[in-house]
Amino acid sequence: MATQQKVRTERDSMGTMEVPIDAYYGASTRRAELNFPISDLRFPRSFIRALALIKLAAARANMSLGLLEGHIGSAIVEAAQEVADGKFDDQFVVDIFQTGSGTSSNTNANEVIANRATEIMGGQRGSRLAHPNDHVNMGQSSNDVIPSAIHLSALTEINESLNPALEKLRTALEKKSDEFWPIIKTGRTHIQDATPVRLGQEFKGFAGQVEYGLGRLRHAQEELSQVALGGTAVGTGVNTHPEFSGRVCRILSEITGVQVRETDNHFQAQSTLDAAVEASGVMRTVAVSLHKIANDIRWMGCGPRAGLGELVLPEVQPGSSIMPGKINPVIAESVVQVVAQVVGNDATVALAGQGGYFELNTMMPVAAYNLLQSISLLASSADNFAEQCVKGLKPTETGPAMVEKGLMLGTALSPAIGYDRAAEIAKEAAATGSTIRETAKRMTDLTDEQLDELLDPEKMTEPGLGGGPAGG
């Protein structure tokens, strides 16, 4: 026989509601929990932390303005810090697919913090010594708190997780660029043989992609640093002190180490998700860059005998349940799958950005979830890619050995004999299986010394070699 769950009775503006006796949330959260049995998706730790820190900073600001009694405000600050530290994550029970403003999650935070603050002051949960609306939510609305929490959580995750991971990857790629600089191999355009390139130059390109990605993130962070807090219901700031938002932003900046400031246009800040849409677009761009890097590396490592075989990737696990000794580029493959997820997340955020109707966007929760997941996935995969793949890459002799056989060495003959004649030599070499050097010696009057000068692959990795025509 099932044991009936013990409950207590809480109340909200709609009346009484039974909640689990051990719950810190109250009646409104319980209603939302029952209203949205949609998925198992919940806000991540980073969002709960940001939401709690906003409540903490709001209590401090309201105390400093003389609007909140000190003993209540201090209890709220203590309770909010505990929530920010992760002690009550299991109390955030509302589904991501909920009210589009995120009101249910804002209420969830208000009730948990109020009940915990009430306990701190010696009261019983539900007795409302700290009131979820009058005290914890003072000077706020879900409509300015939730977009502010989106910005703050994204900012802190970029600052604390994604930027360090990308810096680590850039450093690893730059080290490989230096290490591989002496190695000359065949370049490829249209996945066909092209003129020689240094393996280190290819890795310099990879490192540059990450560097530019970090620059794009800095711009996104600048946009995210403007928060909606202070606009309350529709952007007018009704029911809040004019200095409230500025004080809260200063406190949040001190606590988190990222700079946040009140928006200079509350009406756009609450009715749109434009900054989040831009940030998600940057995540997509960074993801696409990682796809290029991971895909090139796994292709250069394909083989080991029947493929390109120019790189040896670290062996991290067996690659097949049927083929003994097979090793697959699994770390690069995991990066590519993350890219797919991030691109999909960006599409969701873009659609959510279209959910701004009049004075409020009503697709905030799903936008927050997908943006924060993208940041987290990119941070983890970039760090893992650097550590378990890039750092252990080793070159083979295959790349340099194929340079002399490459037909695109004929490009270097163009300044001396013209494009058409060089093309004839390349076609003849391809037809006969000869090298460009062998064919040119047979079909031209160029001496061995001249061919050595013209067909020096090292010189072909630098600007110069005269003003002859070129193709791509």
The pLDDT tens digits of the residues spanning 135-155 come to 999 999 999 999 999 999 999
Which residue's structure tokens are 């037909």? 407
Question: Which one of the listed residues 28, 39, 151, 190 is annotated catalytic?
Answer: 190
* Least confident span in 108-112, 320-324, 419-423: 320-324
Average pLDDT over residues 451-461: 93
As given in the structure block, the two tokens for residue 390 are 């890039």
From the CB of residue 326, how many other CB atoms can be counted at a distance below 10 Å? 10
Gap between the Cα atoms of 471 and 312, Å rounded: 31
pLDDT band at 354 (very low <50, low <70, confident <90, very high): very high
Stated pTM of the model:
0.95
Average pLDDT over residues 96-124: 98
pLDDT band at 326 (very low <50, low <70, confident <90, very high): confident
Q: Output b/e per residue, 363-374; b: 16+ Cβ within 10 A.
A: bbbbbbbbbbbb
pLDDT band at 163 (very low <50, low <70, confident <90, very high): very high
Gap between the Cα atoms of 432 and 451, Å rounded: 19
Q: Evaluate if residue 464 carries a pLDDT over 80.
A: no
Gap between the Cα atoms of 259 and 252, Å rounded: 8
Q: Evaluate if residue 9 carries a pLDDT over 90.
A: yes
Q: What is the pLDDT of residue 469?
A: 44
3-state class (DSSP) for residue 319: coil
Q: Is 135 a catalytic residue?
A: no
pLDDT band at 205 (very low <50, low <70, confident <90, very high): very high
pLDDT band at 3 (very low <50, low <70, confident <90, very high): low
Q: Is 190 a catalytic residue?
A: yes
What are the sequence ranges of the domains in the chain? 21-138, 144-233+261-398, 404-461
Q: Evaluate if residue 332 carries a pLDDT over 50.
A: yes
Ramachandran bin of 235, using left for φ above 0, alpha for ψ from -120 to 50, beta for the remaining angles: left
Averaged confidence pLDDT in the chain:
95
Which CATH number describes the domain made up of 144-233+261-398? 1.20.200.10
Question: Which one of the listed residues 320, 334, 380, 414 is annotated catalytic?
Answer: 320
As given in the structure block, the two tokens for residue 270 are 């609450």
Gap between the Cα atoms of 356 and 351, Å rounded: 10
The pLDDT tens digits of the residues spanning 126-137 come to 999 999 999 999
The pLDDT tens digits of the residues spanning 405-435 come to 999 999 999 999 999 999 999 999 999 999 9
Which residue's structure tokens are 């000077």? 139
User: In terms of CATH architecture, what is 21-138?
Assistant: Orthogonal Bundle (1.10)
Q: Measuring CA to CA, how many Å separate 169 from each of 164, 220, 285, 378, 393?
A: 9, 20, 16, 11, 13
Gap between the Cα atoms of 320 and 462, Å rounded: 42
Average pLDDT over residues 148-169: 98
Alpha helices (H) along 389-435: 398-403, 414-417, 419-432
Average pLDDT over residues 184-212: 97
User: In terms of CATH architecture, what is 404-461?
Assistant: Orthogonal Bundle (1.10)
Average pLDDT over residues 11-37: 97
Q: Evaluate if residue 471 carries a pLDDT over 70.
A: no
